[in-house]
Chains A and B, each alone.
Chain A
Amino acid sequence: EAGVAQSPRYKIIEKRQSVAFWCNPISGHATLYWYQQILGQGPKLLIQFQNNGVVDDSQLPKDRFSAERLKGVDSTLKIQPAKLEDSAVYLCASSLSDGTDTQYFGPGTRLTVL
């Protein structure tokens, strides 16, 4: 069974530029999560989708971050404009049905903002 796919794996941009990350969850998984993991910290949930609807985006900095999952399968996370403090690994995870299931993580995108 294929795991969670993410691209790109690495991205380096300058502050104030825009960047987008892509995630394809495990086939059949209804719930998709985006996390931000700053070096030395645990992952922090940014947004949770169930199918194509947003379940929780309370910790998403909505002035610069946006995410969509239009067809209820793959998802994109965008940052516009980026700040230095956005340098982190962005992890995508998926689970079978809802928040009661185990989450499986993708390899992440390491973002460096200069």
Chain B
Amino acid sequence: GQNIDQPTEMTATEGAIVQINCTYQTSGFNGLFWYQQHAGEAPTFLSYNVLDGLEEKGRFSSFLSRSKGYSYLLLKELQMKDSASYLCAVRADYKLSFGAGTTVTVRA
């Protein structure tokens, strides 16, 4: 199986920037996903990285370094609605494994 680590909780202020790190150990790497999950709701797809580098999508960006087994999700211009759990998921041998998630709380 995969070993996926991400912080349990993070708190930030509205309008600020937060970076959620994810480290993983795996073989057969096929890609890394970030999902957002609001309490009591389904995970929703945010981003996908398969090559090294930064992918930008509006206020959200995701970075991947395959050699370091490392990714981060960057949330800019935080809004209250960004309070949620952010799940890092690694696809290896075409099977997806999830980290436990990072709960982000945005304060006014």
- Residues of A at the B interface (CB closer than 8 Å) are 4, 40-45, 48, 56, 91, 98-100, 102-108, 110
The reply to whether B42 and A106 form a contact with Cβ atoms under 8 Å apart is yes
Chain B contacts with A in 79-101, Cβ cutoff 8 A: 87, 89, 91, 94-101
- What are the nearest 5 A-B pairs in CB distance? A42-B98, A99-B94, A105-B42, A105-B43, A107-B42
Q: Which residues of A contact B89 (CB under 8 A)?
A: 42
Q: Which residue of B lies closest to A9 (CB)?
A: B40
The reply to whether B101 and A104 form a contact with Cβ atoms under 8 Å apart is no
Q: Which residues of B contact A42 (CB under 8 A)?
A: 4, 87, 89, 97-101
Do A103 and B94 form a contact, CB below 8 Å, given A42-B87, A42-B89, A42-B101?
Answer: no
Q: Please measure, in the bound complex, the distance between the C-alpha atom of A107 and the C-alpha atom of B95, giving whole angstroms.
A: 21
Q: Per DSSP, are chain A's interface residues mostly helix, strand or loop, or mixed?
A: loop
- Residues of B at the A interface (CB closer than 8 Å) are 4, 30, 33, 35, 40-45, 48, 87, 89, 91, 94-101
The reply to whether B96 and A103 form a contact with Cβ atoms under 8 Å apart is yes
The reply to whether B100 and A105 form a contact with Cβ atoms under 8 Å apart is no
Q: Please measure, in the bound complex, the distance between the C-alpha atom of A49 and the C-alpha atom of B76, giving whole angstroms.
A: 37
- Tell me the smallest distance from the CB of B96 to a CB of chain A, in Å: 6
The reply to whether A44 and B98 form a contact with Cβ atoms under 8 Å apart is yes
Q: Which residues of A contact B35 (CB under 8 A)?
A: 105
Taking each of B87, B96, B98, B101, which has the highest tally of chain A beta carbons within 10 Å of its own beta carbon?
B96
The reply to whether A100 and B87 form a contact with Cβ atoms under 8 Å apart is no
Q: Which residues of A contact B95 (CB under 8 A)?
A: 45, 48, 56, 99
Q: Which residue of A lies closest to B4 (CB)?
A: A42
